[in-house]
Amino acid sequence: MYFVGVIQPIAHMKRFVFISALLLFCCNPETKQKKTFDAVSEVQYVEAVTLLGDTLRTPKALPGKTLDKYKKAKEQFDKTPDSVEAVIWYGRRTAYLRHYQKAISIYTDGIKKFPEEARLYRHRGHRYISVREYDKAIHDFKMAAKLMDGQPDQVEPDGIPNSRNTPISTLKGNIWYHLGLAYYLKGDLENALWAYQQREMTNTNNDNLVSEGHWLYMIQRRMGDKEGAAASIQDVAMKMDIIENTNYHKMCLFYKELLDLKDLKIKGDGSSSDDVFLYGLGNWHLYEKNDTVTAKTYFKRLLEEGNKYSFAYLAAESDWNRLFESP
Q: Which domain holds residue 140?
A: 43-152
- Residue at 16 is within a domain: no
Give this prediction's pTM: 0.86
CA distance 90 to 86: 6
Beta strand 46-49 pairing with 55-57: antiparallel
Final residue of a structural domain among 120, 136, 152: 152
Residue 57, SS3 per DSSP: strand
- Look at the chain and count its residues: 327
| Domains identified in the chain, total number | 2
- Spatial CA neighbour of 314 closest among 117, 106, 100, 150: 100
* % of the chain exceeding 90 in pLDDT: 75
The residue out of 122, 152, 182 marking a domain boundary is 152
Q: Are 203 and 212 in contact (CB under 8 A)?
A: yes
CB 95 within 8 A of CB 103: yes
- Give me the tens of pLDDT residue by residue for the chain, a chain 327 residues long: 333 343 344 344 334 433 444 444 344 443 333 345 566 565 678 999 999 999 999 998 889 999 999 999 999 999 999 999 999 999 999 999 999 999 999 999 999 999 999 999 999 999 999 999 999 999 999 999 999 999 999 999 988 888 898 889 999 999 999 999 999 999 999 999 999 998 766 677 999 999 999 999 999 999 999 999 999 999 999 999 999 999 999 999 999 999 999 999 888 877 777 999 999 999 999 999 999 999 999 999 999 999 999 999 999 999 999 988 654
Give the end-to-end CA distance of the chain in Å, rounded to a whole number.
83
In a domain, 210, yes or no: no
- Provide the H-helix boundaries in the chain: 2-27, 65-79, 84-96, 100-113, 118-130, 134-148, 171-185, 189-199, 206-222, 226-232, 246-255, 272-287, 292-305, 311-323
- Residue 96, domain CATH: 1.25.40.10
Does some domain include residue 229? no
Q: For residues 279 and 298, is the Cβ–Cβ distance under 8 A? A: yes
| Residue 270 located in a structural domain | yes
**How far apart are alpha carbons 99 and 39 in whole angstroms?**
8
Identify whether 92 is part of a domain.
yes
Closest CA to 212 of 191, 195, 227, 237: 195
20's CB contacts (< 8 A; 6+ apart) are none
Residue 180 lies in a domain: no
Domain boundary among 152, 174, 208: 152
Assigned domain for 217 exists: no
Neighbour-count burial of 277, counting CB atoms closer than 10 A to its CB (0-12 exposed, 13-18 middle, 19+ buried): buried
**Which 3 state secondary structure label does DSSP give 137?**
helix
